[in-house]
Amino acid sequence: MLTNSKGQTGLLWLPTADVPPVYLRYALVEMGTERPFWPSFILDDWGRKISGLEMYRWLQEEGERFPRAEIFGYDANWVEEQGFVRAIEIHYRHPCWAYPTTETPLAEGVRLRHVLVVEEGMVGAELLAKPPVGVPEPLGRAQLKWWRVGEDTADWGV
């Protein structure tokens, strides 16, 4: 992870490089408040448990059909919370937090705002209109700015 001169955190996108992993956690947003909610699992109308990255796909594809599905997780203070899918902004881009290890306490995550796609020979930085092809979900739907940068780029972001 990197920090620019404005104190914003960015992640280098080097999928083929041998670099230490960064662990991401995607928040959902409470309707009308932009309050983050970190989901653990969803119980659909038949009591089936949906968890992991599958939750985000399920919300996109099935969330409007099952507004009474229950969602379990944590609020911004990491207090356990339970609610309904109807209270979540289903199509809102997911705020994203980054962690250096899987053992890092949830409250110590860093809000991720940028992803830097390093391109050999590039000079400076260019804001991309969308994530590059092949970016996995839900990272592609995260609330992030994607930048194309050169290997020596010292600053980026607004």
Domain extents in the chain: 2-26+94-149, 35-87
Q: Which amino acid is at 90?
A: I
Average pLDDT of 35-39? Answer: 90
Strand-pair partners of 15: none
Average pLDDT of 102-113? Answer: 85
Contact (Cβ atoms closer than 8 angstroms) between residue 141 and residue 27: no
- Predicted confidence band of residue 34 (pLDDT cuts 50, 70, 90): confident
Q: What is the pLDDT of residues 38-70, one digit of tens each?
A: 999 999 999 999 999 999 999 999 999 999 999
Contact (Cβ atoms closer than 8 angstroms) between residue 93 and residue 138: no
Q: If DSSP codes are grouped into helix, strand and coil, which group holds residue 86?
A: helix
Give the whole-angstrom CA distance, residue 26 versus residue 98: 9
Q: Which residue has the higher pLDDT, 78 or 63?
A: 63
User: For residue 113, which phi and psi values (nearest 5 degrees)?
Assistant: -120, -20
Average pLDDT of 67-96? Answer: 91
Strand-pair partners of 94: 142
Tell me the whole-structure pTM to 2 decimals.
0.81
Q: What is the pLDDT of residues 110-156, one digit of tens each?
A: 888 888 888 888 888 888 899 988 888 888 889 998 988 877 665 55
Q: Which amino acid is at 24?
A: L
Token pair recorded at residue 101: 């290890």
Burial (CB count <10 Å: 0-12, 13-18, 19+), residue 88? buried
